[in-house]
């Protein structure tokens, strides 16, 4: 099953009050959301970062993954990493790859009709062979699109 060109959305969400972590203070958070489809299934991935992450995803990575196998995530991941060699792997490129990687694993789990945790290595008895990643801040929420009325942002396919 082949991947369609990923959709990319970027939203800037204001915080309820100024937030800080000891190194930086902010009054909004920008979230980049990508959705990748194959067949009738869609996987969703996200990251935090500036608008440039969405632009990079849209312009560089989306065309690269279109048409690839939805089930061969390691090959797609390798192709994404190779494609950013001259742009630099850290920073914006890493955030964009991360968002798309999450979407690809979510899609694969949906296509195989498996819980994502099982696909990633959690056994039937609940023990884990992989660690869960935590959000960088517990105060940040991912809101459904219908709640995004107070946010600024853009959405596009590829």
Q: pLDDT in tens for each of the 158 residues of the chain?
A: 999 999 999 999 998 888 888 888 889 989 999 999 999 999 999 999 999 999 999 999 999 999 999 999 999 999 999 888 877 777 889 999 999 999 999 999 999 988 888 877 765 555 544 444 433 333 334 444 444 444 455 555 45
Reading the block at residue 37, the tokens are 């489809």
**What is the structure's pLDDT at 142?**
44
**What is the structure's pLDDT at 143?**
44
d(CA 90, CA 44): 22
**What is the structure's pLDDT at 24?**
86
For residue 65, the Cα-to-chain-centroid distance in whole angstroms is 14
CB-CB contact of 46 with 31 (8 Å): yes
Reading the block at residue 120, the tokens are 């990633």
Predicted TM-score (pTM) of the model is 0.76
Would you say how long the chain is, in residues? 158
- Coil, helix or strand at residue 48: strand
Q: How many CB atoms lie within 10 A of CB 157?
A: 13
**By C-alpha distance, which of 34, 33, 27 is closest to 13?**
27
**What is the structure's pLDDT at 126?**
55
Q: How many CB atoms lie within 10 A of CB 55?
A: 17
d(CA 45, CA 74): 16
H/E stretch holding 116 reads: helix 116-119
**What is the structure's pLDDT at 21?**
87
CB-CB contact of 10 with 153 (8 Å): yes
What residues contact residue 104 under an 8 Å CB cut-off, 6+ apart? 3, 36, 43, 45, 65, 70, 73, 76, 77
């Amino acid at each position: 099953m082949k991947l369609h060109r990923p959709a990319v959305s970027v939203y800037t969400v204001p915080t309820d009050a100024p937030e800080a972590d000891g190194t930086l203070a902010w009054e909004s958070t920008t979230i980049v959301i990508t959705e990748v489809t194959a067949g009738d299934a869609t996987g969703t991935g996200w990251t935090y970062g500036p608008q440039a992450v969405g632009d990079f995803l849209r312009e560089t990575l989306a065309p690269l993954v279109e048409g690839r196998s939805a089930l061969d995530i390691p090959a797609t991941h390798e192709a994404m990493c190779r494609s950013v060699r001259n742009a630099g792997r850290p920073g914006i490129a890493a955030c964009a790859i991360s968002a798309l990687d999450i979407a690809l694993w979510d899609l694969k789990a949906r296509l195989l009709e498996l819980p994502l945790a099982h696909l990633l290595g959690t056994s039937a008895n609940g023990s884990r062979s992989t660690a869960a990643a935590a959000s960088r801040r517990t105060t940040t929420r991912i809101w459904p699109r219908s709640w995004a009325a107070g946010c600024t942002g853009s959405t596009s396919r590829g």
